[in-house]
Copies of this chain bind each other. A is one copy, B any other.
Amino acid sequence: MAKPRVVILGGGFGGLAAAEALGQSADVTVVDRNNYQTFLPLLYQVSTAGMAADNVAFPIRGALRKSHTKFRLGSPIAVDHKNKTVKLDSSEVLPFDYLVVAMGSVTADFGIPGVAENTLGMKSIHESITIRSEVMRRFEDLCRFEDKTRLKIVVVGGGPTGVEMSGALAELVRGPLKNDNQEAAKLIDVYLVEAGPRLLPMFAETLTTRTKKYLEKIGVNVLLNTAVSSVESGRINFASGEAIDSQIIIWAAGVKGSPAVADLSLPIVASRLDTQPTLQVTDYPYVFAVGDDAGAKGANGRFLPQVAPVAMQQGRFAAKQILRLAKGESLGEFKYVDKGSMATVGRNKAIIQVKGIKIYGPIAWFGWLTLHLFYLLGARNKFGTMVDWSWNYLTFDRGNRNIFDSF
């Protein structure tokens, strides 16, 4: 029997997990618009000068070497469902028996005016380097002009990304920037803005209360129940009528399925693919949806969260389903195994919640470090990151404060 031909659209957590699980059992081609996987959970550290940009990227061809899987650089622009082919922007046409859609997500602006134009996103290495450069350049402006105009950096979104970003920014300001120029560093304010009544709603309230206290202790101004109504250049407006004149507004308020999925001629519901419990796209049994684009639902009847563990479990699950389909076997239903949540808040401080267990402090922080190092692809990236983190920890410094003008 010929091996089934599988095209995987997207080389992120979901796509690479599927490729690895399929391995030599299928004729696999991974397609991605980048030649590297981006380790999204650590982009905030690139932004805040804690990590080198190259260490959160891993060449996809390197990741696929073991399984001898093919790779194509490009983006899909159309799927011919009759002939089962996908056309790439390179004009190459790839035939497939099964298609895995794992194209990830983009920043969601919830229809709030001015977000796309006037805020910085956190979804790519390019964006993370833009934030770093923007922060460091404004800091240099403060050093230069000494006119006491304050630099207000606003992070929008009280989820893990916003909490980690605002905490890391506050540490950057309190530590390295203060050592660089104390007067200028004193002129920087960091805000964390959340529309809901508390930070990190996926965690127990005891943990989020401590998180908020710690963020405030290191200098983050946490604003709860503060919905954004619009963003202008240099100004963020709230539903209450209040506003902050802010030169750097970072949008970490949420994500939505990639709009590029719309080019695939597949049914979409609420910016995700209409997905069966088997992870097959409704009416397209040869197409599987994985990760942030998948409309699979959890036990509570709601969409699963758009996080790496869901994507990786779904990638492996979709791979197994494809091999079962190819053999004519019946399919199972995807069940997400929630292994708990974690977020880092600052030096020696993180929170972990696994079922009933709640941990706050150095042990959680060490657990966070270990897990992220473990999931970072490649020994080079792991060791390089250990160097960066050891340096940051031992010296209270951040060595990557370089302004690279765009990536």
Contacts and interface: CB of A to CB of B under 8 A. Distances in A.
Interface of A: 34-36, 52-55, 57-59, 61-62, 65, 71-74, 90, 92, 125-126, 129, 136-137, 140, 143-145, 179-181, 378-381, 383-384, 387-388, 390-391, 397, 399-407
B401 A61 contact: yes
Given A71-B143, A72-B143, A90-B144, A126 B405 contact: yes
A93 to B, nearest CB: 11
Contacts of A145: 92
Contacts of A137: 35, 73
A136 B35 contact: yes
A234 B399 CA distance: 39
Contacts of A55: 52
Given A52-B54, A407-B407, A59 B402 contact: yes
Contacts of A59: 180, 399, 401-402
Given A126-B405, A179-B65, A399 B387 contact: no
Contacts of A399: 54, 58-59, 62, 378, 380-381
Contacts of A406: 405-407
A53 B53 CA distance: 8
A401 B384 CA distance: 15
A140 B90 CA distance: 11
Contact of A397 (B62, B179, B402): B62
Contact of A404 (B125, B381, B384): B125
Contact of A65 (B61, B180, B404): B180
The residue among A74, A388, A390 with the most chain B CB atoms within 10 A of its own CB is A388
Nearest to A180: B61
Contact of A36 (B381, B391, B403): B403
The residue among A54, A72, A90, A388 with the most chain B CB atoms within 10 A of its own CB is A54
A383 to B, nearest CB: 4
A400 to B, nearest CB: 5
A94 to B, nearest CB: 10
19 contacts: A35-B140, A35-B403, A36-B402, A52-B54, A53-B53, A57-B402, A58-B402, A59-B402, A71-B143, A72-B140, A72-B143, A73-B140, A379-B391, A380-B387, A380-B388, A380-B391, A380-B397, A380-B400, A383-B391
A401 B62 contact: yes
The residue among A36, A57, A72, A380 with the most chain B CB atoms within 10 A of its own CB is A380
